[in-house]
Structure 1
């Protein structure tokens, strides 16, 4: 009963319309009443009316939960205002609309730009795992950057689709507070904004052992995800549908036997998981890969203004810039 009470309280807090203080007051009132009812039940003092009232409240909350529906039409924040749209894809050539190419000076000062990009998947040469730390060592945002023979990079990132003025809440992600969106972006946008504008600590690891066919399969899986979210909105879920679980789900297109692991939830340790699965560059211990994969300081250097993708990979094992001169 207490667990259900907490869930209903969270639902009230995150979903009731109106000012936040009022939602908090209603949720607190419910928790007090529910705790009182639970204690009466535990002591054998609850009559049928108390049990019935509690049950009806939980059923009503469940019905409200089921009635919640994601939307494509809200006043979205600028950085998630457009949906990634697959113009065409024949298995090899893909044309994408609304690839993000912002120029960020600060988190609130930027030039917004959405562009069309065309890629030949026969030119895919690499995939990099990027982890951006914003809340301690256990939590990181997960991105995958694909490299092409002509030197271009394209990054995919599953994110909450914030409304204007809204901010992320891990707890809110359990209560259908946010829709989710798949962002495709230039590295000079989605990685640089984390290192340079937000002050996050970012690490890059070259994924090892992927054939050209496997790279294409993984890229195509992202295309399928983009099409699905473009056609029909979906809720972000902190536990089951987040930036890390989508990488795991898509990776299973290539390696169906990948085991479940607590590090899929504690996303800050995802690189350790990839290392244990022999998905990172061999010949190095994890501490070395971790230390040499830290790109934050390189991204902040003036030299990164030119050839950003090349500069941040200087010294990263497995990349052509592993041993810069």
Structure 2
């Protein structure tokens, strides 16, 4: 107990920073210029992978019209060794068929790997990765070999637009004022919940399935946030996209084909 108290006190003296030697794929933060309906997102990630650890880092700037955002998909990637824990993401669909993924992650330094235990003790900064599906989904499904579930949400275009706007504003805040990741209170899923509840108050009440995001898809289904015209077990089965992601990993129409 004394060791835990000492560790906690020590953590409070650490200051979050954006100036460290970051892993190459997390070296740049997304920063957006917002001008009415037009948003220019700098540092959209578009890495290409030979293996999970061997990749070419690519970024580009993307200009979008907020009014072109039409849909939001909820992506759940359970941990292979602990499926009750998962990484969760959102993907935004545009009128032209393009998609942008928002993934809330630890910002790793070059020597670091993720540890849930370390995540309690201010060991990682928090970052938003905004990137292509051919980068972020491919990495999870084809290189980490994790199961990937992609669910269409019931969000209307106006809600999708509000949600993306809130996300890019939050990413800008982190670029100006870095924060620490926390395994329980400031992670991928809690940030998604915060965004949704900000645009639609109390849409997602507190529930243990937020702390155990491997069940977050089932929770979203129970709240009516996903298509519930079919039983959840069927939806869960049909939403797994690994086979399609493997088949079309190098296809220019990757995003459309994994939704077939």
| TM-score strictly above 0.5 | yes
1:285 maps to 231
2:149 maps to 203
Deviations, residues 18-46 of structure 1 (Å, cap 9, x unaligned) = xxxxxxxxxxxxxxxxxxxxxxxxxxxxx
Deviation for aligned residue 1:90: 2.2
Deviation for aligned residue 1:110: 1.1
1:70 maps to 16
After superposition, the CA RMSD in angstroms is 1.4
Greater strand fraction, Structure 1 or Structure 2: 2
3-state SS of 1:144 partner: strand
Structure 1 residues 6 and 289: alpha-carbon distance in aligned structure 2, compared to 1, 3 A threshold? farther
Question: Distance between the aligned counterparts of 2:138 and 2:239, measured in 1?
Answer: 15
Determine whether 1:235 maps to 2:180. Answer: yes
Q: 294-303 or 220-229, which moves further after superposition?
A: 294-303
Deviations, residues 157-202 of structure 1 (Å, cap 9, x unaligned) = 1100000021000000000010111100000001101111111110
Where do residues 1-325 of structure 1 align in structure 2 (5 Å cutoff)?
Answer: 2=1, 5-8=2-5, 11=7, 62=9, 64-86=10-32, 88-134=33-79, 135-208=81-154, 210-257=155-202, 258-302=204-248, 305-314=251-260
Question: Distance between the aligned counterparts of 1:106 and 1:133, measured in 2?
Answer: 20
Structure 1 residues 147 and 302: alpha-carbon distance in aligned structure 2, compared to 1, 3 A threshold? closer
- Contact 1:304–1:311 at 8 Å: present in 2 too? no
Question: Distance between the aligned counterparts of 2:126 and 2:151, measured in 1?
Answer: 25
Question: Distance between the aligned counterparts of 2:249 and 2:3, measured in 1?
Answer: 51
Deviation for aligned residue 1:6: 4.8
- Contact 1:304–1:312 at 8 Å: present in 2 too? no
Question: Distance between the aligned counterparts of 1:232 and 1:253, measured in 2?
Answer: 20
Q: Which has the larger radius of gyration?
A: 1
Structure 1 residue runs without a partner (length 5+): 12-60, 315-325
Greater helix fraction, Structure 1 or Structure 2: 1
Deviations, residues 51-97 of structure 1 (Å, cap 9, x unaligned) = xxxxxxxxxx62x33221011111100111101111x2124110011
Deviation for aligned residue 1:281: 1.1
Deviation for aligned residue 1:111: 1.2
Question: Distance between the aligned counterparts of 1:151 and 1:6, measured in 2?
Answer: 53
Structure 2 residue runs without a partner (length 5+): none
Question: Distance between the aligned counterparts of 1:282 and 1:198, measured in 2?
Answer: 30
Deviation for aligned residue 1:304: 5.8
Question: Distance between the aligned counterparts of 1:309 and 1:287, measured in 2?
Answer: 24
Deviation for aligned residue 1:216: 1.3
Question: Distance between the aligned counterparts of 1:207 and 1:268, measured in 2?
Answer: 17
Question: Distance between the aligned counterparts of 1:312 and 1:251, measured in 2?
Answer: 25
Deviations, residues 288-319 of structure 1 (Å, cap 9, x unaligned) = 110000001111115763411011111xxxxx
- Contact 2:73–2:92 at 8 Å: present in 1 too? yes
